[in-house]
Amino acid sequence: MTHQIIKSHQHNIKNFVDINILQRIQDTFAKAMGVAAVTVDRSGTPITETSNFCRLCTMIRSTPAGLARCQWCDAEGGRKANQLRRPYAYLCAGGLLDAAAPIIIDGEYLGSILCGQVIPMDDQEAFRERIIERNIPLGLTCNEIDRAAREIVPVPRERFHAAVEMLSIVANYVIEMGAANLAKSKLLKEAQERAALKAALQEAQLRALKAQINPHFLFNSLTLLGFTALEEGAHRTEEIAYSLSDLLRYSLRNISTTVELGEEIKMIEQYLAIQKIGFGDRLEKRIEVDSDLLHFEVPCMVLQPLVENAVIHGAEPLTRTVTVVIRAYRQGGYVVLEVADDGVGMPMEIVEAINSLRFAKKNSLGLQNVIQRLIGEYGPEFSVQVEAFPDQGTTIRLMIPVHVSLPEESDVFADWPFISDVLSEVATGDEALQSSRINEAVHSVADMNLVDLVEVDHKSYESQEIQAEMIKS
């Protein structure tokens, strides 16, 4: 998303992106790619904690001159990436390979995500000599710089190139997330001022929810995971790739449509399977759905925000096991969709606000989106009930009137199930089939003009050196 650049610099990344979420994305990227990573503002000042930093760079940044030089270098790398509108690979002032990807939201350059601290495998000694030469002026000894440099495991240039490509995907995802949050906050403010914008607000909330599972990011992540599983035989990677591919297929086929409740439940099972990998024995599930309701049609993605709230707010803060229960049953003239947990519970003021449909500005946005959509679909006959008790859990019931008929499912994104099926086979097929199907999927997406990654000229970073004039002068 790039528009005319705003020069007033009135915003920063924290205005648009949840820093805790950004930190988790950055940590996961650094661990998966085996590189260091940090997110900085326009001036090069970090806005996240560093991820996977090597001892050499930590040592350099421990000196006042080294810290000033590194932040200046990070700012220059981000500025150049912003000028190019693509990731920029370069030799940093400390003598290591780095790369920067710009974060541009609503036309304004806000900072960059950086990765690197890499020594290429094919040029180790020359890089170490350059590292020593550039960092002795900081007051560090030759021996301590050399020892720290030799702790950095050299990597093939191809792996660094792959990390830069993945950095582009991560930056694009952060941009989409920030743009979605920006759109949501603007529309929420307008809705408070003018009730006539209610319908537009509902659509914006749905788009913000859809942006949380961004198809470009997920597709490229699944491709990376598939190759990782292929090369390493990693069964946990296979499991994640399989579950994520099902989620991708579901979200792309069913956005803005109605689905059978059975499909929604299958998607929830895939979501909880992914969460189970991280939570282990701390998370259990139980699903109780009347068999005659499996074909009952509901708006898609109506349960996922409730289940996510149960996991993140009900289970994550606790060390004990928490069980999430999903139920569907008939009660009078209603179908009741119920999500319950025996975790933290919900503050009583939020419970009362939800039951009276008086939402606080920043509380339970996911649940607000769901309720607004259901009111739009079913009118005043729809209702919601919330019960909660401290350290005993929360129960949310969506009361859907059964006599309301919903529109038939659209065929939008009909080609995407093929791609997600391919990605599922990446996780389960033999090596020859995996390689063939990955190539087939990539060509299919390219033909559909849905992949929008900027090609990076990785071989030109020697001519793109950022000169450390601050330290040389």
Does 387 lie in the same domain as 265? yes
Does 169 lie in the same domain as 264? no
Phi, psi of 112 (to 5 degrees): -155, 160
CATH number where 19 lies: 3.30.450
Is 24 domain-assigned?
Answer: yes
Is 442 domain-assigned?
Answer: no
Does 117 lie in the same domain as 17? yes
- Whether the CB-CB separation of 402 and 335 falls below 8 Å is answered with yes
| Nearest alpha-carbon partner for 220 in 248, 253, 179 | 248
Question: How far is 228 from 333, CA to CA, in rounded Å?
Answer: 50
CATH number where 323 lies: 3.30.565.10
Q: What is the pLDDT along the chain (473 residues), one digit of tens a residue?
A: 333 333 344 577 777 788 888 888 888 888 888 899 999 999 999 999 999 999 999 999 999 999 999 999 999 999 999 999 889 999 999 999 999 999 887 788 888 999 999 999 988 999 999 999 999 999 999 999 999 999 999 999 888 888 888 888 888 888 777 777 777 777 766 666 665 555 555 665 566 555 554 555 555 666 666 666 667 766 666 666 667 666 766 666 555 578 899 989 988 998 888 888 888 899 999 999 999 999 999 988 889 889 988 998 999 999 999 999 999 999 988 999 999 999 999 989 888 888 888 766 555 667 888 888 888 888 888 999 999 999 899 999 999 998 644 333 333 233 333 333 443 443 444 545 544 543 443 343 333 332 222 233 333 333 334 433 333 33
According to the 3-state scheme, what is the secondary structure of 363-430? CCHHHHHHHHHHHHHHHHHCEEEEEEECCCEEEEEEEEECCCCCCCCCCCCCCHHHHHHHHHHHHHCC
Is 456 domain-assigned?
Answer: no
Does 157 lie in the same domain as 40? yes
- What pLDDT, on the 0 to 100 scale, is given for residue 207? 60
Amino acid at 353: A
What residues contact 44, with CB distance under 8 A and at least 6 apart?
Answer: 70, 71, 72, 73, 74, 75, 76, 78
Question: How far is 149 from 73, CA to CA, in rounded Å?
Answer: 19
Does 21 lie in the same domain as 168? yes
Residue ending a domain, among 123, 157, 173, is 173
Does 157 lie in the same domain as 18? yes
- What pLDDT, on the 0 to 100 scale, is given for residue 353? 86
Residue ending a domain, among 391, 409, 427, is 409
* Measured CA angle at 244 (ends 243, 245), to 5 deg: 90
- Whether the CB-CB separation of 382 and 399 falls below 8 Å is answered with yes
Is 341 domain-assigned?
Answer: yes
Does 390 lie in the same domain as 287? yes
Is 264 domain-assigned?
Answer: yes
Query: How many domains are there within the chain?
Result: 2
- What pLDDT, on the 0 to 100 scale, is given for residue 402? 85
Does 168 lie in the same domain as 263? no
The span from the first CA to the last CA of the chain, in angstroms, equals: 39
Does 288 lie in the same domain as 156? no
- What pLDDT, on the 0 to 100 scale, is given for residue 225? 66
Is 455 domain-assigned?
Answer: no
Residue ending a domain, among 173, 191, 212, is 173
Q: Domain containing 47: what range? A: 13-173
Does 272 lie in the same domain as 155? no
Does 142 lie in the same domain as 268? no
Is 151 domain-assigned?
Answer: yes
Is 457 domain-assigned?
Answer: no
Does 162 lie in the same domain as 281? no
| Residue in the structure block whose two tokens are 């009741």 | 336
Is the pTM value of this prediction over 0.85?
no
Burial class (CB in 10 A: 0-12, 13-18, 19+), 446: exposed
